[in-house]
Each structure stands twice: as C-alpha cells, then as structure tokens.
Amino acid sequence: MSELKSKFLWTFLLLAIYRIGVHLPVPGVDGNALADFFANAQNTLFGLFDMFSGGCLKNLSIFALGIMPYISASIIIQLLTVVSPELKRLSKEDGAAGRKKITQYTRYGTVLISVVQGLGIAVGIESMSSPTGAPIVFMPGWAFRFITVLTLTAGTIFVMWLGEKITERGIGNGISLIICSGIIAGLPSGIGQSYLCLT
C-alpha cells in the first residue's frame, strides 16, 4: 500500500511541476498582445494546437512545444526501423541494449525536431501582432530567435524527462499522462466557451 501511495505522490508531484512550467513564458514576448491574438484565434488551428499543448502556446511558455517533438521522433524512428536493417537488428537481436540505443536515437531526434520547430515558432511569432496592432515580440531578431529556440528545446527535453520519470517511478505511461493533463486543464475553458456559444 505504501508503494502505491508513493507512486501516486510521484505522479502528482511531477505533473504539478509540468503544470507550473506551463505558466512560465519565453523571454521577450508581450504576454498581453499574445493573449489578445489567441482570443481572436480561438476557433482556428492555433486554438486546437493550444488545447493539445494544455494552454502552453497561448502564453508561449517554456513548454510550448510540449511532448509532440518526442512523439514525432518516436514515430520517425519506428518507421525507420522497418526500412533500416541496422535499426531492425538493434530492435530485435540486441534486446535491452538495442532498445536503449533506439531510445537514445529518439532523444537525439527529439532535440533536432525541437530546434526546427522552435525556430519556426520564433520566426513566425516575430511577424504577428495583436488585433490592436501591438507587436507580440518586444525586440525581434536573431538574439530573440536563439533564446526562444534554446528555451523551447530545453523545455521539451525537460518534459520528456518528466514523462520518463513518471513512467519509471509513478503510475502509468508518463507521456500519455502529460498529454492527458494538458487536455484536462483546457476542459473548463472549453466547456465554458461551448456554453457561451449555445446561449
């Protein structure tokens, strides 16, 4: 019983750390202008992606990329395992050592995807402005892009680590629980908006 309680506490603690990180913004961004932009983009693809990131994109938090780069890297590695004899051998013949190597490749892929997506977000957000015309980024340029890419990549790596620790010391699959916690966090506002649309 004490082991189960310990697992519950670990899961709760690590998910709480994730939810706190959702509210830490990337430096150099005007939070009010960004909030105004997302208020107008509620029923668009931006709004949908923000819901799956648990509200991280709306405040451009350090966890804005969420766990999606890790999931993308996992899918790419699984597809490459089918076509690459070396990866196929690692996954089947080498047992635990092979799986460890594949996990390492997945982590490298996660970093690469995070850097590309972080740069895309940094460049994209520089050209955006709020409905009132206020720029979202205080000082656009390569310094902002570098800091944003570094922050978002580090955030994704940390979320990936949290997911692995939840799987290892907590209850259930950590990655799934992180995604689920983001969706659950967005439910109250989603239900409220649905109610307002119906009335």
Residue 116 tokens, joined? 């590309």
Under a CB-based contact definition with an 8 Å cutoff, are residues 120 and 68 in contact?
A: no
Under a CB-based contact definition with an 8 Å cutoff, are residues 165 and 39 in contact?
A: no
pLDDT of residue 25: 84
Under a CB-based contact definition with an 8 Å cutoff, are residues 102 and 77 in contact?
A: yes
pLDDT in tens, 155-165: 999 999 998 89
Percentage of residues in the chain having pLDDT higher than 90: 21
Of 5-9, 157-161, 171-175, which one has max mean pLDDT? Answer: 157-161
How far apart, in Å, are the Cα atoms of 157 and each of 4, 11, 14, 129, 181? 27, 18, 14, 29, 18
Backbone angles phi, psi at 90, to 5 degrees: -60, -45
